[in-house]
């Protein structure tokens, strides 16, 4: 067990203390953001802004372009979501709902556009040097759709989070970002509970 832990965290011996501290802070606020999302609480967005802002800085330094783009997108969508969740419609705040036919088409468009965009970023930066780039491109597209649906308070957002989180756990271990991998593992369970909680709320409306 001791050897296994050493393997998981050995890469941190080469990181600057500031980067390790920032990753830990980002992970903590990431946990808070997902927990608040499960609770259908507006604090999902300010905590998310802190987490994603830090990750944009770290992932840029670590040359993980797809991951950096995910977090930059999260940052922007957190501002958008914050506005949507607090906007009143018919004397009430935007409720949890299911995606419409138009929103499903928009989700598909976001997914395909993201695949093309991230491919172009990797191609222009000449970063197609590992199979992780292809997986990174896929998870970026999955998370982009998930974040857009969450900002619009659509219950299907949790399905995209679950799929993306499950893929990200082994991916981040392989990349040497163990703390972030653990974060995504916990995110998976929170996303499952979040889906169940939102479904219960939706069925009671």
Q: Give me the DSSP letters along 107-176.
A: HHHHHHHHHHHHHHHHHHTT---SHHHHHHHHHHHHHHHHHHHHHTTBTTHHHHHHHHHHHHHHHHHHHT
d(CA 172, CA 165): 10
Residue 171 scores a pLDDT above 90: no
Phi and psi dihedrals of 125, rounded to 5? -90, 0
End-to-end CA distance of the chain: 48
The SS3 call for residue 1 is coil
Residue 10 scores a pLDDT above 60: no
Count of C-beta atoms within a 10 Å radius of residue 149: 23
Choice between 133 and 101, residue whose per-residue pLDDT is larger: 101
180: exposed, middle or buried (C-beta count within 10 Å: 0-12, 13-18, 19+)?
buried
Q: How confident is the model at residue 23 (pLDDT cuts 50, 70, 90)?
A: confident
Range with lowest mean pLDDT among 6-10, 54-58, 116-120, 144-148: 6-10
Average confidence score pLDDT of the chain: 84
d(CA 55, CA 19): 10
Residue 165 scores a pLDDT above 90: yes
Its pTM stands at 0.74
Count of C-beta atoms within a 10 Å radius of residue 12: 15
**89 is written with which tokens?**
């419609």
Which of 154, 153, 133, 143 is CA-nearest to residue 187? Answer: 143
């Amino acid at each position: 067990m001791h050897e296994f832990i050493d393997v998981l965290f050995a890469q941190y011996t080469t990181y600057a203390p500031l980067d390790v501290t920032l990753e830990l802070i980002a992970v903590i606020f990431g946990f808070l953001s997902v927990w608040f999302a499960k609770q259908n609480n507006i604090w999902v967005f300010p905590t998310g802004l802190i987490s994603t802002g830090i990750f944009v800085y770290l992932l840029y330094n670590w040359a993980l372009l797809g991951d950096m783009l995910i977090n930059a997108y999260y940052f922007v969508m957190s501002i958008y979501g914050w506005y949507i969740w607090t906007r009143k419609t018919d004397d009430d705040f935007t409720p949890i709902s299911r995606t419409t036919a138009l929103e499903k088409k928009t989700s598909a468009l976001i997914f395909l556009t993201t695949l093309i965009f991230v491919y172009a970023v990797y191609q222009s930066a000449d970063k197609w040097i590992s199979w992780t780039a292809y997986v990174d491109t896929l998870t970026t597209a999955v998370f982009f759709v998930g974040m857009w649906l969450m900002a619009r308070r659509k219950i299907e957002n949790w399905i995209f989070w679950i799929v993306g989180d499950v893929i990200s756990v082994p991916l981040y271990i392989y990349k040497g970002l163990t703390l972030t991998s653990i974060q995504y593992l916990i995110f998976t369970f929170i996303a499952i509970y979040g889906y169940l909680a939102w479904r219960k709320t939706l069925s009671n409306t």
